[in-house]
Amino acid sequence: MTNANATPAPGEAIVIGAGIVGVCCALYLQRDGHRVTLIDPKGPGNGASFGNAGNLGWASCVPAAMPGVLKKVPQMLFDADAPLKLHWGHVPAAAGWFARFIANARPARVEAIADARQALLSRLHEGYQPLLEDAGAEDLLDYSGLLMTWESEEAYAGSAYALELRRRRGVPMDVLDGNEARQMEPALTPSVTRAVHFPRLAHVVNPLRLTETLARHFERRGGRLLREAARGFEMGPIGPVAVTTDGGRRAADRFVVAAGVWSKHLARQLGTRTPIEAERGYHTVFGDPGIALRAAIMSADRYIAVTQMETGIRATGVAEFADPERPADMRYAEMVQRRAQGLLPGLRDGQRTQWMGPRPSHPDSLPVLGRSPRFPNVVFAYGHDHIGLALGGITGRIVSDLVAGRPAPVDLTPYRPDRF
């Protein structure tokens, strides 16, 4: 007699998407004994994972939609210098997303979303530690903390609720005045009047190298990496039996969709619709910055994050809502550059590089993380908003738990694929 509660035997697994989330999913499935194929047309880490701020945001429980956002969004859309951009041709496609986004700004929803984000973020190091140790990649993390800055008392007062959200969820922080902030980070502009230091935050000194290092480790352990684009699925009696790609037919027993913003179309083919948008971010890297930062910095006034990387100082910002395939508008990277140089007056602009990448964002600032509502051999793991790098490891562990039939370490209800 077959035991209905028995752990499924290891088999053939396909993970679609080789960003940091997909690579971590592949590694955890491999650790469970599965034969794993990782599929991505661009190769490991060349999407949103490439250009993020690098922060492992243990203090990033605050969602994007906060009380009062209904007044702020229209103002930002009409302000050329605002960090929020929406192409008017994309308005019909994004209108529903923004309606849901505004609904999630109610205080009760904000509290619930912050709880759900922190439930995952509090386990980020637990998720990464075994992968980093096995791959010999521990040197890619820097534990110097995060410094959040304000340049006006009005802006600081406006952040009080967001700081309280973090404090009530156990995030340690030290409140500083402007002089104390400059003692910690001398490169800051004299106009900084307030700051908060989050000592327990780490950042990755090269997110692309981290993703590539983990992917190489996956291949050394026998994993297969295919640079192919997933087009759809071949269906069997209880679910998919193969992925069809531009390179052929790839058969497996289990499937994980972790392709960032491109997961939307794959999930739809499997009967699940989620309102995911490409929140396109921009960065400028100062290859010869002339200064060195002691901690990662986030400016609440200038809407940018600035991080010391092994390739220079990276400044990130802007949320541009547009089709993910639309050509980049590097005026926004130039805007990020100017804001970074205003925050750090000694920052030299020689040897600059620029980038744009589509962050996969849901209107409730939470990922889709769970088994397909229709097909038991499919797991969804996408839409991690601005915290995909932070949640890569713990997402991979949860996916492997779901595939194995083990209890997940957190309640997955807030992230269920059919919540919309």
CB 168 within 8 A of CB 110: no
CB 269 within 8 A of CB 49: no
Kindly report, residue by residue over 333-367, the tens digit of the pLDDT: 999 999 999 999 999 988 999 999 999 999 999 99
pLDDT given for residue 78 in this prediction: 67
What would the two tokens of residue 52 be? 């993020």
Kindly report, residue by residue over 376-394, the tens digit of the pLDDT: 999 999 999 999 999 999 9
Kindly report, residue by residue over 276-320, the tens digit of the pLDDT: 999 999 999 999 999 999 999 999 999 999 999 999 999 999 999
pLDDT given for residue 8 in this prediction: 64
pLDDT given for residue 70 in this prediction: 72
Phi, psi of 76 (to 5 degrees): -65, -40
Ranges of residues in the chain with a pLDDT under 50 are 1-5
SS (HEC) of the chain: CCCCCCCCCCCEEEEECCCHHHHHHHHHHHHCCCEEEEECCCCCCCCCCCCCCCEECCCCCCCCCCCCHHHHHHHHHCCCCCCEEECHHHHHHHHHHHHHHHHCCCHHHHHHHHHHHHHHHCCHHHHHHHHHHHHCCHHHEECCCEEEEECCHHHHHHCHHHHHHHHHCCCCCEEEEHHHHHHHCCCCCCCCCEEEEECCCEEECCHHHHHHHHHHHHHHCCCEEECCCEEEEEECCCCEEEEEECCEEEECCEEEECCHHHHHHHHHHCCCCCCCEEEEEEEEEECCCCCCCCCEEEECCCCEEEEEECCEEEEEEEEEECCCCCCCCCHHHHHHHHHHHHHCCCCCCCCEEEEEEEEEECCCCCCEEEECCCCCCEEEEECCHHHHHHHHHHHHHHHHHHHHCCCCCCCCHHHCCCCC
The sign of the dihedral angle between the CA atoms of 360, 122, 30, 8 is negative
Domain 63-107+144-200+277-361 CATH class label = alpha beta
The sign of the dihedral angle between the CA atoms of 52, 419, 170, 180 is positive
List the domain boundaries for the chain. Answer: 63-107+144-200+277-361
Contacts of 152 (CB under 8 A, 6+ apart): 193, 301
